[in-house]
Amino acid sequence: MPEFSLKSLIGYELECERIYIEVLAHFGNQNLTAKALGVSQFTVHTWLKSGGRISLSKAEKLEQITGGRFHPSDFSHLK
């Protein structure tokens, strides 16, 4: 997997868990991530900010649409 940074994906740095950066990189940007998961771009942006967290139902949807690439247990608050 190529190296990437949050800054390269959204244009600036934020503090967040690496898994959120990987999800964003998988889809390419916040808008595409939001569309794939059926949430707003603002919701995805909050996941990238310290304290924002994906819900269990969205993590399960993420697992489904990525064929298991991501799993709810990848997110520390869902372990």
Q: What domains does the chain contain, in order, with CATH numbers?
A: 6-78 (1.10.260.40)
State the Cα–Cα distance between residues 7 and 66, nearest whole angstrom: 23
pLDDT of the residue at 53 = 93
Question: How far is the CA of 61 from the CAs of 3, 7, 9, 32, in angstroms?
Answer: 25, 26, 22, 15
pLDDT of the residue at 23 = 95
Q: Could you state, in chain order, the average pLDDT of each consecutive group of 10 residues for the chain (79 residues)?
A: 62 76 92 97 87 92 97 93
Global pTM? 0.79
pLDDT of the residue at 40 = 95
Other residues' Cβ atoms within 10 Å of the Cβ of residue 23: 24
Say if residue 18 is exposed, middle or buried (CB neighbours under 10 Å; 0-12, 13-18, 19+): exposed
